[in-house]
Structure 1
């Protein structure tokens, strides 16, 4: 009996710590990303934005959905995705980081992200599940306003 029991105990001791190290996280789905983008587009039209690229990324910063409005310069798609990636990976609006750099924290530039206003985390039940980035509207402030409108989308 001990020949069977001891290997089982050893196996259990090896499995238990591994399970304790797993963290469950939530991330945005394609369906939810489309809702976020739709809210952002609705707001952009309401404020007569001249264009804009709207990127939605998951909690890890990977692109889930991109929508580019008519009359938006092509590089805006890439910039919006990078703003969203920055907001997701730092779990903070990209404007906060831009402000830090402008305030003298220039070493942030070296970490390889896009520290431009217009990236906003998407929060669900208190957890960052992704982010939205907007580029190519009338101004940096309008980019952020559009992103904020999208980030407020309801998932219920």
Structure 2
């Protein structure tokens, strides 16, 4: 039988708070979605002023990162290089989703949407870095 490790709600909330802080530092309003290893949402935040559709975009990015075990930019690069068959995959190949790894295992992911994609990714990476420092970096 397999054992799957996953973010607990307290950890998902801490990760979301770190993302809110990072977005505030950059002066952008975004949606933040944290999923656990099952790819189901644990925390959904749409900051005041964030685009309405960004909440769904953040969820799609988080799910893609958790299912694929890679940042969503990993799936975007082949598409940008002309491999349009990537659009047939049930994933969102737009920068801003990043998996969370602890002890080499994907325990969930964060998705950020509402700012330019490179800032979405920067917020996600910053939040994960902050989170792992506070919980002990076990990558």
Q: Same fold (TM over 0.5)?
A: yes
Counterpart-to-counterpart distance in 2, 1:151 and 1:81 = 16
Aligned alpha-carbon RMSD (Å): 1.1
Q: How far is 1:60 from its partner?
A: 2.2
Structure with larger Rg = 1
Counterpart contact for 1:33–1:65, Cα < 8 Å: yes
Kept after mapping to 2: 8 A contact 1:119/1:147: yes
Q: Which structure 2 residue ranges, 5 or more long, are not aligned?
A: none
Q: Secondary structure at the match of 1:35?
A: helix
Match of 2:124 in 1: 147
- Aligned counterpart, 2:24: 45
Matched, 1:24 2:3: yes
TM-score scaled to structure 1, two decimals?
Answer: 0.81
Gaps of 5+ in 1: 1-21
Equivalent position of 1:54 in the other structure: 32
Count how many residue pairs are aligned between Structure 1 and Structure 2: 133
Q: What is the alpha-carbon distance in structure 2 between the residues aligned to residue 62 and residue 106 of structure 1? A: 27
Report if the CA contact (8 A) 1:131-1:151 is conserved: no
Deviating 4+ runs (over 4 angstroms): none
Tell me how far apart the structure 1 counterparts of residues 71 and 23 of structure 2 sit (CA, whole Å): 19
